[in-house]
Amino acid sequence: MERILINGMDFQTADGKHVLFNGINVVCKDRAQGYIFPDLEKSFRAFERMGFNLIRFGIFWDGVEPEPGKYDMEYLSRVRDTIGMAEKYGLYVIVDMHQDLFARKFIDGAPDWATLDEGAYHPEGCTMWYDAYLQSDAIIRAADNFWADKAAEDGMGVLTHYEKMWERIAQYLDCCENIIGWEPMNEPFMGSLARNAFGFATERMKEHNPQFDLEHPEKISQEEQAAFMEIVTEQFQEFDRTTLMDFYRRMHRAVKKHSKKPLVTGGNIYSSSTVHTGIGRLSMDKENQGCQIYAPHGYDSVVDSDRYDSFSRENVERLYADKRRSQKELQLPLIVGEWGAFPSKPFTNGLIRHMNGILEKYLWNSTYWDYQPKREEDANFSSLCRAYPVETAGRLIAYHYDEEGKAFEMTFEAAEGESRIYCPFIPQSVEGGYGNKACGIDYRLEKMGEEACHVFLKAKQTGMLTVFIRKER
């Protein structure tokens, strides 16, 4: 597979083609299955037909280091084999160290020996699983002890263990050429700072409205909500600027000993909403250019609930406008690491198409959350399969896929070389034009079964070219 480079806010091949990634999360949280789904080759074959070229592949601290300083090489070998299998089907990989509620003890993540909760209280049966972040003294205590690098049973700090683990992972997996980045932790949680931030913001709001109560959101005005989030955001940004960036730099030093692949940085768990991230660049040194990818997550507030009838496209658009602002501040390529989490319902494809429009608007890369076995057979998720420019010979300006009309359009500043577009249909016409002047297009099709193909095309001259690909003329 071609080596992927970073050029400003874009990904590109070694010969300068603009690359877009369209993919899905593959995260098996089942310890009994060894944290890897069975029969993934069948799934990867389906991903290739669907036009996916990237997976965010979840691994787990509990799987890698089940005992302090002892690595499960059998697990890492199966991880390496799985990543190698993905390469067979044209899939690049982000290696994601996944966690939810910090530890396997609570959902998934850290092994028991690294979960230093000191026997603190943990609630059972929260209304929403992620409420436990604020309600569980145990999770908060374990997170605080992690960031403080408190000693595990062998006398070494748990954060130091984590760093050494990542050094070993990079050493063992860097041979996989299709890995495009290392993601050191999924949705980092800041511990007691989170509870304190919400408490501080609540007290500030009560100075103006003594009746302010987060447990009754229906009584909170939009102005109050905005003011509350502004206060909370200030606290979370400070965590990002200090603790989290120190962590990212530490993990970057660890993987850099064995790998030149970039670190994937997303921000704290609350930046998956409209909280503006405070993370920065790992380095501005010329020798470290291309060492970082910005990969935020983004969900509407109804995610994982039964309230999808109140899903707000406006909220999602505001959320991603904020991520765009962060990208411009950071001047980094962006992959939406997680989005969606939709249930299988008749409305699902409509929500996917809305997000596809945002990805098109910003020329973004993404991995949908998430893959479950046989999801590729569920018609409610068919809109994940979309036409897009995989590689553009030149500078990509805009593109759009009309799913209902089975029509694709892209505009780019054409350069020498062959562009590649994935189409979930077999086109009957491929046409182009420079401005108002129509022109012929040299192209060829590479079929992927009976219903999909790659369109390879060459511009006959440089300049601003618009290409139209249609199923029917």
State the CATH number of the domain containing residue 467.
Answer: 2.60.40
Tokens 């990989």 belong to residue: 93
**Residue 8 sits in the same domain as residue 133:** yes
In whole angstroms, what is the distance from residue 67 CA to residue 63 CA? 10
244 φψ region: left (φ > 0), alpha (ψ -120 to 50), beta (else): alpha
Between CA 403 and CA 55 the distance in angstroms is: 23
Domain boundary among 360, 385, 410: 385
- Res 287: pLDDT: 67
**Helix or strand (DSSP H, E) at 444:** strand 442-447
Q: 363 and 229 in one domain?
A: yes
Q: Which CATH number goes with the domain that contains 85? A: 3.20.20.80
Q: Give the whole-angstrom CA distance, residue 43 versus residue 372.
A: 10
Point out the domain boundary residue: 385, 404, 429.
Answer: 385
* Token pair of 41 as six digits: 């080759």
Question: What residues contact residue 177 under an 8 Å CB cut-off, 6+ apart?
Answer: 1, 3, 87
Distance of CA 7 to the CA centre of its chain: 19
Straight-line distance from the first to the last Cα atom of the chain, in angstroms, rounded to the nearest whole number: 34
Residue 435 — left, alpha, or beta (φ > 0 → left; ψ -120 to 50 → alpha)? left
* Same domain as 176, residue 64: yes
Q: Is the dihedral of CA 222, 224, 230, 235 positive or negative?
A: negative
Total number of domains in the chain: 2
Supply the angle between the helices 348-362 and 313-330 in degrees, to the nearest 10.
Answer: 30
Range of the domain at 255: 4-385
Same domain, 398 and 366: no
- Look at residue 180 and give its three-state secondary structure: strand
The DSSP call for residue 244 is: I
Among the three residues 354, 369, 385, which one is the final residue of a domain in this structure? 385
Scanning 174-221, the segments in alpha helix (DSSP H) are: 192-206
Angle 65-339-238 from CA coordinates, rounded to 5°? 70
The pLDDT, as a whole number, for residue 218 is 77
Tens-of-pLDDT digits for all 473 residues of the chain? 999 999 999 999 999 999 999 999 999 999 999 999 999 999 999 999 999 999 999 999 999 999 999 999 999 999 999 999 999 999 999 999 999 999 999 999 999 999 999 999 999 888 889 999 999 999 999 999 999 999 999 999 999 999 999 999 999 999 999 999 999 999 999 999 999 999 999 999 999 999 999 888 778 888 998 899 899 999 999 999 999 999 999 999 999 999 999 999 999 999 998 799 999 999 877 767 899 999 999 999 899 998 998 999 999 999 999 999 999 999 999 999 999 999 999 999 999 999 999 999 999 999 999 999 999 999 999 999 999 999 999 999 999 999 999 999 999 999 999 999 999 999 999 999 988 787 878 999 999 988 999 999 999 888 999 999 999 86
Residue 250 CA to residue 247 CA, distance in Å, equals 5
122 & 229 share domain: yes
CB 264 within 8 A of CB 335: yes
Both tokens of residue 382? 């068919």
Same domain, 372 and 402: no
Residues 363 and 468 in one domain: no
Cα(143)–Cα(137) distance, rounded to whole angstroms?
10
Tokens of 301: 């507030």
What is d(CA 102, CA 50) in angstroms, rounded to the nearest whole number? Answer: 33
- Within this chain, do residues 214 and 248 fall inside the same structural domain, yes or no? yes
Same domain flag for 437 and 465? yes
Indicate whether 234 and 136 sit together in one domain. Answer: yes
Q: Pick the closest to residue 316 from 333, 303, 329, 328 (CA basis).
A: 303
Rounded to whole angstroms, the Cα distance separating 345 from 340 reads 13
DSSP 401: E
| Nearest-angstrom CA–CA distance, 188 and 244 | 8
249 and 334 inside one domain? yes
Same domain? 340 vs 444 = no
